[in-house]
Amino acid sequence: MSTLIKLFASDLDGTLYNGLHQTDGGIVRRLRRVVGAGRHVALATGRWSSTGAELGFGDLPLEVVCGNGAFVYGASGELLRSVEIDPATVEELLRAFPTCCLVCVSADGTFVRGSRADQLAGYLPPHGLLGRFVAWQARRRGPGADMVFDQTEADVLAHPICKVNCRVPDAGLKAELAAFVGERADTLVNASFDGDLFELTEASVNKGEALAWLAGHLGMTEDEVAVYGDGGNDLAMLERFDHAYATSNASEAAKRAAGNVIGSCTLHAVPRHMLTTVRRDGAL
């Protein structure tokens, strides 16, 4: 008898989102049926958002694992867990790279050591189509309600920082930052979907570890979890769980880590697979 999947967890860009990196009616309708059948759906993302509504899923009650696993939020938007980076390491980072626009994320807000223009500059060409799309979205929406710019070192260190983002197109500076992270592997890890982007969290943090914690919190075993991903920051998640699936548009590394490949995100492969799984179990 096959295992009953009780928790479905998916990355967003290139996975659950469509080809335009957003939700649409078809995605939301399928997820609504999955949740309506009594299953949990968690969004597992490098972004920082505490609710599915902020990520385009309306009133659906979805758990959110964000910041690559640094934060876990319940379906009602309540903070269930956060993992802080060692404050001494954050202080070293701020002092070692004074010219970098460091986006420092805490459960109580996002504190940017730089201006709004500095942050947006990192996403302008030549950083590819995704970067241009992100920059367009950011300009259209305006700054996030929780985002505070032009923060000093003291301003940042006044908060428990759980994730630090920084886009570094300069090859020399990128090498220096990579070396800095490598020398602090006991306190810091970088899991990014993009070669120019650093997404720094506490060394033990990843989507797989956070989802295993969430499953335990919900009273489930890891065998009752199915996960979906497409890129570098999904590898730990795809490797950890037996029921792991990569989209056909995923990286080769993600496909190897998952061991199972489904269709493209442009064809709603992930919500279709979730719904098919629920139907197979006889819940619909």
Residue 101, in any domain of the structure: yes
Residue 61 has pLDDT above 50, yes or no: yes
**Phi, psi of 106, deg, nearest 5:** -125, 165
Mean pLDDT of the chain: 91
Residue 2 included in any domain: no
Would you say residue 12 lies in a domain? yes
| Single residue among 201, 222, 249 that ends a domain in this structure | 201
The answer on 62 and 124 residing in a single domain is no
Phi and psi angles of residue 267, each rounded to the nearest 5 degrees, phi first:
-110, 20
Question: Do 103 and 75 fall into the same domain?
Answer: no
Residue 124 confidence (pLDDT)? 54
Q: What is the CATH number of the domain that holds 270?
A: 3.40.50.1000
Domain that includes residue 161, residue range: 87-201
Question: What angle in degrees, to the nearest 10, is found between the helix axes of 269-280 and 25-36?
Answer: 20
Tell whether 121 and 148 lie within a shared domain: yes
| CA dihedral (97, 100, 105, 110) positive or negative | positive
122 and 213 share one domain: no
The predicted pLDDT at position 284 comes to 73
**Could you report the per-residue pLDDT of 192-231, keeping only the tens digit for each?**
877 788 999 999 999 999 999 999 999 999 999 999 999 9
Task: From 164, 183, 201, give the residue that closes a domain.
Answer: 201
Tens of pLDDT, residue by residue over 13-46, are 999 999 999 999 999 999 999 999 999 999 999 9
Asked if residue 98 and residue 197 are part of one domain, the reply reads yes
The torsion angle over the Cα atoms of residues 152, 156, 157 and 159, rounded to 10 degrees, is 150
What pLDDT, on a 0 to 100 scale, did the predictor assign at position 126?
46
Q: Is residue 185 part of a domain?
A: yes
Q: Which two tokens stand for residue 51?
A: 């609710």
- Number of domains making up the chain: 2
The burial of 173, by beta-carbon neighbours within 10 Å (0-12 exposed, 13-18 middle, 19 or more buried), is given as: middle
